[in-house]
A = this chain, B = another copy of it.
């Protein structure tokens, strides 16, 4: 390659779909001196933060928090609800639905996959068929990844709930909302989600390190019968503690960040936050669609009703390596794009557009991708950024 790396200067554009940009005010809040997690001053912050997480999950139910990444919360959902041999249904979305399924197998659970084309998503008629056919209710739960970070596609949870209801199936509905919460509409109680899995490092704009699960009363009932061994993540143990969460030391500094995160999200208004993600996501898609002319890179997702507003996967034309584009963006222009995961490695790159993001940030990112395409010799129709500019100006006009 002729493109020389440069020493990174200016702030890095972090367009990786997770973790995500952390606002300065949250970075400062997190840089908090140590405090006793039983200090009344901390407990006030703590209780308010937990209440805020419930408002963002849109739930009235229990929330359990973990010092851990999103995978810890996945595991918490599994070990707290199930017993060895229980069967789960996993609608295939991509890398993350696969991973959650594999984790379930690690705990001796049966996993049935509702297969899907990664570019189109599952067929809901098929889902209803599977549920209807399960008259013995062998399926104890559906593990649904609301927003598949690896493909940039949404799995409509309300339709899963509708399929369960239509078939009178008692399976629990578990939803991974890690890369959707705080970026796209999510409504735990309204959608009948029994366990919602979230993390700190995406729409909540915090460093990685804390995850949580909202749990419905039906989920708590299932927990009571669960026999998988557990301790660090055990909800029953947690309920005996003052914090009703966390076994061991509480990661206090993240709560100062969470307090600020909730303030920022609610100052803007969740609906406005979602609108912002929607328009920035659409700008990215219009840009990619423009590039795709002339045999250029194209949107990986082929189902427009399932576009993600927090991440877009861009499929490279045959014979071109996504990693070359990423490398130029990072090494020459200080822009971090996401790579393709598992079977998509090298085939797609991903643009994260979630969290603390605005128009100039996404337009600077798209401009850089266009430079990188050019420099990597990837065919494309130049001018994608124009399409994004035109769209975003139009939205601002109307607003």
A residues sitting closer than 8 Å to B (CB atoms) are 2-4, 6-14, 16, 18-24, 27-28, 30-36, 38-39, 41, 66-72, 74-75, 84, 102-103, 106-108, 199, 201, 207-210, 228-232, 234, 237, 246-254, 264, 267-268, 272, 276, 328, 330, 332-336, 338-339, 356-365, 367-368, 370-371, 374-375, 382-383, 385-386, 388-390, 392-393, 396-399
A18-B249, A67-B208, A69-B248 known; A363-B368 Cβ under 8 A: yes
A2-B397, A72-B248, A250-B208 known; A371-B359 Cβ under 8 A: yes
User: What are some 9 contacts across the A-B interface (CB < 8 A)?
Assistant: A4-B396, A16-B34, A68-B232, A106-B230, A209-B209, A360-B364, A367-B385, A375-B396, A375-B397
CA distance A35 to B334 in the complex (A): 11
Of B30, B69, B232, which contacts A249 at CB under 8 A? Answer: B69
| Nearest B-chain residue to A107, judged by Cβ | B229
Q: Which chain B positions have C-beta within 8 A of A72?
A: 67-68, 72, 232, 248
| Nearest B-chain residue to A252, judged by Cβ | B208
| Nearest B-chain residue to A104, judged by Cβ | B231
CA distance A10 to B69 in the complex (A): 24
**6 closest pairs, A vs B, by CB?**
A364-B364, A10-B358, A71-B248, A360-B364, A363-B367, A106-B231
CA distance A398 to B332 in the complex (A): 12
A59 CB to closest chain B CB (Å) equals 23
Of B71, B107, B392, which contacts A371 at CB under 8 A? Answer: B392
- On whether the beta carbons of A231 and B75 are closer than 8 Å, the reply is yes
CA distance A170 to B175 in the complex (A): 45
- On whether the beta carbons of B251 and A396 are closer than 8 Å, the reply is no
- On whether the beta carbons of B9 and A229 are closer than 8 Å, the reply is no
Q: Which chain B positions have C-beta within 8 A of A333?
A: 358-360, 396
Of B16, B31, B107, B365, which contacts A231 at CB under 8 A? Answer: B107
- On whether the beta carbons of A31 and B30 are closer than 8 Å, the reply is yes
Q: Which chain B positions have C-beta within 8 A of A31?
A: 27-28, 30-31
Q: Which chain B positions have C-beta within 8 A of A383?
A: 383, 386
Q: Which chain B positions have C-beta within 8 A of A334?
A: 358-360
Q: Which chain B positions have C-beta within 8 A of A231?
A: 71, 75, 102-103, 106-107
- On whether the beta carbons of A234 and B14 are closer than 8 Å, the reply is no
A33-B27, A67-B68, A229-B107 known; A396-B14 Cβ under 8 A: no
Q: Which chain B positions have C-beta within 8 A of A14?
A: 33-36
